[in-house]
Structure 1
């Protein structure tokens, strides 16, 4: 092997071509099939973004309405999936239960073993819808209750949030939740998307690729960060407490969850700015004193980290308090991340199967040689 450059964590390595999305750090823009993700979040709905990602073009109003009905029509989950989830230990991590359910879903898809891009797309819509139903009911079923089944009279985001919280959300809550789904929907090639593409590159099926993505997303260096952020905010209690906690963690050289990003090295994640605005608007609309305190806490933490480390918030830092104000249990924050990201993952599996090349990197060997048995 000739001279090669070793990049730990594959940092800066171009691993694939894609027409799905790109993080343009220089222009502080997340490009999704030609559109700025923040423009989509402010002007469109999550269902629009699903259509854009999976079908490759932004739907018209009529097409969006048809797609929303299509998703709601296939959102019911086979009864056997609930039976499987009931057999799992309650103390099992929610992402592990979700991983099991996503894998099992393939058993009720007659085309599950296909690596055909068009079949991926059709199965993908089903998984997008059913993953939301599963995520919304993870706690309810684990505690012995019956799942709250989809209500097709509601919009997709309203139905999803309604199944989670078990009450009628108001329009401002639905809009805030919808914006979080868009923010999480697609983000180029993070660990979970890379894992899905690596698995798909063997011509493994969509369900296998998505199962691997769930496993990847569980980690606190990836999807699990949003839960860690909320736990930190609750531990701190107030603005002074958060500043004190952050400074103590920094003194111990501990990682502060919700700050920094492999791509956004010295800039704020554009999605964090979006959800910062979403949080402020939601709290103002609700007139919630606890929510107002969270807004102040988050700003104090942001100020401290910028001054001390030159680091900026990532998406998880502001997604966590949005979910808290909406009344969503912390245990579901990362599963919701997956449910939202399923649209992007499906798009990547479709693209991988359409233009496939097996991923097979090499290593920089550092072990001994010449040993005799």
Structure 2
């Protein structure tokens, strides 16, 4: 007989065993294969974290160089894919465009239906190489701008930011952007990762699982929150104006994006603190202390009024704005960063698979006669 316990939203239900990551809420630590994510962000680059997530250990210099060579060898998007994306409506949501692009890329992968760990690892590398190009260049195409190819003289994160903004980043911009990618790289079992694992549990391919995660991440209750945060911040020129906007939203019982988290609840998201520090550095370098002060004021309002703390999206949004990243690309950038974590979960799911097949509690009528 099925266990009919009903947990709305599956809150605190353990759905998988994993060696990839864990949110230690009590210890205020995000564990990535034994390492503290925040500590990693302070001493290694995103490419190292991607290697850790996909390979199980931090790469040594020789392995790191091999990963970089592998990524560079997989750069490049088929012209037919770009041609198709360029024909989409200019106002298409960029996550819809990205989902379409990832689905199209699947057709060009000769190992698409090979679920072995070795083949999945190679597919993960291809996705890591190509997703940033899809994010940046599909937007450029729909804006009527020429595509930008990755440059051999730039790092992985430097290339991504270059393609997003059309200019070579300075050292501070590149490092802070890299830290944001680490912050977004993996976060245990949010909706999008669960969606990817559910799809992978049917033994569907990695591209399909990642495309499903894109659809999940689009929602403003998940990844789309960073765009909503920036839209709110853009309405205020002073801390006082932002406070008035927030108080108005609260009075109307509207949800304010960028605050609260299903897991952290009444604790600070460690990644938000990382990005708050990044915003402080970037604001100082660009003469935008006003933006930092406005964001800090908004944080104080929500702590005072609702006892809620900011999550990663609240401070990542203004960091991306100061880096010159177009707002419609905030969520696609999130997905690009999360690609390493998503692929790690697909590899793990395929390696020891169990099809997800939950039951329901039926609340409809019975015994009706036709």
> Which category of TM-score, normalised to the shorter sequence, fits these structures?
over 0.9
Determine the structure 2 residue equivalent to 1:136: 136
Determine the structure 1 residue equivalent to 2:228: 228
Residues 123 and 3 (structure 1), Cα distance of their counterparts in 2 relative to 1, 3 Å cut: closer
Determine the structure 2 residue equivalent to 1:217: 217
SS at match of 1:108: coil
Does the CA contact (< 8 Å) of 2:86 and 2:138 recur in 1? no
Determine the structure 2 residue equivalent to 1:208: 208
Tell me the distance in 2 between the aligned counterparts of 1:306 and 1:105: 44
Q: Shift of residue 69 of structure 1?
A: 2.5
Determine the structure 2 residue equivalent to 1:19: 19
- Is 1:111 matched with 2:111? yes
Q: How many residue pairs align between the two structures? A: 370
Tell me the distance in 2 between the aligned counterparts of 1:54 and 1:287: 36
Tell me the distance in 1 between the aligned counterparts of 2:47 and 2:272: 21
Q: Shift of residue 135 of structure 1?
A: 0.7
Does the CA contact (< 8 Å) of 2:4 and 2:360 recur in 1? no
- Is 1:360 matched with 2:367? no
Determine the structure 1 residue equivalent to 2:54: 54
- Is 1:327 matched with 2:310? no
- Is 1:40 matched with 2:40? yes
- Give the TM-score normalised by the residue count of structure 1: 0.97
What pairs up with 1:170-189 in 2 under 5 angstroms?
Answer: 170-189=170-189
Runs of 4+ in 1 over 6 A off after TM superposition: none
What pairs up with 1:1-373 in 2 under 5 angstroms?
Answer: 1=1, 4-284=4-284, 286-288=285-287, 291-373=288-370
Residue deviations 1:202-254, cap 9 Å, x none? 00000110110000000000000000000000012221111001100001111
> Which is further off, 114-123 or 336-345?
114-123
SS at match of 2:49: helix
Does the CA contact (< 8 Å) of 1:30 and 1:187 recur in 2? yes
Does the CA contact (< 8 Å) of 1:73 and 1:152 recur in 2? no
Residue deviations 1:238-292, cap 9 Å, x none? 21111001100001111010000000100010000011011111222x242xx21
Say what the alpha-carbon RMSD is for the aligned residues: 1.0
Residue deviations 1:296-342, cap 9 Å, x none? 01110111101110100000000000000101100100000000000
